[in-house]
């Protein structure tokens, strides 16, 4: 009896796991906030957070969402992500080949349009 490896199912599961990493990252970031608060030692903020979690957790979540949206907005306005992607694509030989091929295709289309316009005139 031979067991057959289902490649499509394996790839689908991998995609699901890869997508879940982003959400797990959110949870990890929130946990880091609580670890940071705990590391502040004995003070009024730490005492409040850990003695009143029903109040503190929603407040921390609201602050987290507000700061995340603010940082995301600033990143979009300043174009950091686009520049990062541009730099990454320059260091990736496959993406550079694709970009070069697209530029060559655009040049050929331009030449063909010029030839067509010259023939029409």
Instruction: Determine the Cα–Cα distance for residues 17 and 9; give it in Å rounded to an integer.
Output: 12
Q: How confident is the model over 88-98, as pLDDT tens digits?
A: 777 778 878 88
How does pLDDT run across 57-70, given as a tens digit for each residue? 999 999 988 998 99
The tokens for 102 are: 């697209």
Please tell me what DSSP assigns to residue 3: P
Closest CA to 34 of 12, 77, 63: 63
- Supply the pTM of this predicted model: 0.54
Helix, strand, coil % (nearest 5) of the chain?
90, 0, 10
CA atoms of 53 and 58, how far apart (whole Å): 8
> How far apart are the C-alpha atoms of 40 and 49, rounded to whole Å?
12
Q: Give residues with Cβ within 8 angstroms of 30, minimum separation 6.
A: 60, 61, 64
Per residue in 21-60, pLDDT tens?
988 988 898 889 889 988 988 888 899 999 999 999 999 9
Strands (E), 38-116: none
């Amino acid at each position: 009896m031979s067991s057959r490896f289902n490649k499509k199912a394996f790839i689908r599961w991998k995609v699901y796991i890869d997508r879940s990493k982003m959400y797990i990252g959110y949870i990890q970031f929130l946990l880091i906030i609580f670890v940071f608060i705990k590391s502040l030692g004995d003070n009024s903020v730490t005492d409040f957070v850990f003695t009143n979690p029903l109040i503190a957790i929603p407040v921390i979540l609201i602050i987290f969402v507000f700061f995340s949206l603010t940082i995301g907005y600033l990143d979009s306005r300043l174009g950091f992500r686009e520049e990062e992607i541009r730099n990454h694509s320059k260091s990736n030989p496959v993406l550079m080949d694709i970009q070069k091929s697209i530029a060559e295709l655009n040049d050929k289309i331009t030449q063909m349009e010029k030839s067509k316009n010259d023939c029409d005139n």
